[in-house]
Structure 1
Amino acid sequence: MIKSITPLFIVGHKRSGSTFLGRILNMHPEIYISNETDILWLLFQHYNKLKFEKHPHDGPFGLNKSLEKYAEELESDLSPYEMFCKIQMRAMEDGFMSYEPTRKPELKYLGDQKPFQNADPQLVDFCAENFPPCKYLHLIRHPKDVVRSCKRFGPGKDGGWMWKDKKKQEILSDWVKAENWVDLIKHQNKRSVIDLRYEDLVNEPIASMKNVFDNLNLTYSESLLRRIENTIIKNNRKKKIHLKITREAQEVMERYNYE
């Protein structure tokens, strides 16, 4: 069964809706996206014999939880891809973070939702060297909404501290970095990337997810699409945010038809 599983990773910047997208993807019986196991960063450090540390663009929570639950698996003599499948399938069947335990006998795609980590060039290279061809689902959101979400989340717990002391322009720079990393996956590493704008997912969920499933060569029912549509909660009440859009950010925005 393992040989038939294709790695699938959400990439982009944090606070772009990746948790929401992961839950939608998991409605499909042939997909499982974990809730932040930090699996690629964990395996990269393990197989390169590095000390386990949090990713530079993330908190330690997912990594620490994975090590707490699955450190003993790392003692087995498995290839990186076999280890990836084993830990991720255990996370699926055990339940991980806020996700309940589940089983998927027809599983075809397996991955994690850490978008900034997953786009890190060294992790993309690690996958290219050790995994079968991966699929990447690129979720992008207007930078003003990303920055607004980061600043709103900043005072909170569970990782919000990452943005608590960051200025808005610094977060914008991080957004540009993440999006340029995604561009590298597309053009330099020649990997398969599916683009999805958060705004399209919210406003046109059925068309958006049909495109995703079609690109993954997965079948789907009308009832699944309706379930997805029913999960959408639109929020048009957004606080204004003053943000100077840099030239670098503008170039990214133009690639995805943002004004």
Structure 2
Amino acid sequence: MNSAIEHFLLTSKLTQRFYQVPASDLNSNDTSPFFIIGSGRSGNTLLRRLLNNHSQLYIPPETYVLGRIIGHYIRHPSLTWQELVFLTLSNFQFDEEFSTFHLPSLNKLAIELKTLPQDKQSLAMILNSFYKFYQSHHKLQGKRWGDKTPYNTFHLDRIMGVFPTAQFIHIVRNPYDATSSYLKSGIYNKFEDAAERWFQSVELSCQFGRKYPLQYIEINYNVLVTSPELTLRKICEFLQVSFEDNMLKAPPTLLGDVEEHSHHANVMQDINTQHIGKGLKSLSSDQIKYIQSKVNSSKYSSITNFS
């Protein structure tokens, strides 16, 4: 289904009349998360680590089910509240990455949600409650949740339909370094696939930012690692929270998926610039030309300066 049509189904008062449960809750001030988006291998997890050190914010491990959950909702307007609660929480609990959240069974949460009065029922409420359950279980101080799953970049309109006041932080790394990092980490084995993932992700993020400029900010990876305090101050202003020295000074907290996946190993190191420019050194001349030709292509005209 076209993303524009999906967004219409999620947000139109006309179409929402046919859904048993609304997608979002515009009357709630408690469902305004933020999302780190863009291509993977771009400093996304480093940024998550830094923002997790803020007293008012928290970002759980990556979850790859958010787009799928919203897709199920769109295609099945007749789902009852109890069915939607069960379907949504099952997607989280039976995903292979659920173990990285270090949570118990979601049965208790499901029981609590099923007893909510009708005026509190929405898909956004279920999703928000899952993230709040994570916060409560781990006794986290932060009150506002974020998400750092690069794959969510392919579901931005869906997410916006459920969380219309959400904010989006697009972190951009140059395609040479990001592509090289994808290959080195083993996430992709084929160069063309790794490069295409960068181009698709960055193009989608930039296009989204042009549609929602007030809810979108673009951050450059090179600037983050060379001027981390300046960059974090900019992000904090965007999120409407005060900058805290602790974001840079505190030791890394346990991040769940970082400890379990080798491709996140560098995240626990001190901020450094040693990974800038590695792509141009490790990629072949033909691979560099391939990327440059795509950068110059009109197909990717939405991509902004990444150097």
Q: Above 0.5 in TM-score?
A: yes
- Any conservation in 1 of the 2:224–2:231 contact (CA below 8 Å)? yes
Corresponding position of 2:6: none
1:93 aligns with 2:129: no
Corresponding position of 1:184: 207
Offset of 1:127 from its aligned partner? 2.7
State the identity as a percent.
20
For 1:42 and 1:68, the matched residues in 2 are separated by: 22
SS of the aligned residue for 2:240 comes to: coil
Higher gyration radius (CA) = 2
Residue of 51, 54, 70 corresponding to 2:106: 70
Residue of 146, 149, 154 corresponding to 1:111: 146
For 2:67 and 2:151, the matched residues in 1 are separated by: 11
Question: Where does 1:11-90 land on structure 2 (aligned, <5 Å)?
Answer: 11-38=37-64, 40-48=66-74, 61-62=96-97, 69-70=105-106, 73=109, 76-77=113-114, 78-90=121-133
Residue of 157, 167, 177 corresponding to 1:125: 157
For 1:176 and 1:205, the matched residues in 2 are separated by: 25
- Any conservation in 2 of the 1:11–1:138 contact (CA below 8 Å)? yes
Corresponding position of 1:249: 295
1:14–1:72 distance in 2 versus 1, CA, 3 Å: farther
1:71–1:191 distance in 2 versus 1, CA, 3 Å: farther
- Any conservation in 1 of the 2:58–2:145 contact (CA below 8 Å)? yes
Letter in 1 for 2:193: E
Structure 1 length normalisation: TM-score? Answer: 0.75
Structure 2 length normalisation: TM-score? Answer: 0.64
Greater percentage in helix = 2
Offset of 1:89 from its aligned partner? 1.7
1:178–1:196 distance in 2 versus 1, CA, 3 Å: same
Offset of 1:217 from its aligned partner? 1.5
- Any conservation in 2 of the 1:10–1:136 contact (CA below 8 Å)? yes
Bigger mean CA deviation after superposition, 25-34 or 123-132: 123-132
1:197 aligns with 2:233: no
Offset of 1:249 from its aligned partner? 2.6
For 1:232 and 1:139, the matched residues in 2 are separated by: 16
- Give the gaps of 5 or more residues in structure 2: 1-27, 77-86, 115-120, 252-268
Question: Where does 1:133-152 land on structure 2 (aligned, <5 Å)?
Answer: 133-152=165-184
Offset of 1:210 from its aligned partner? 0.7
1:91–1:73 distance in 2 versus 1, CA, 3 Å: same
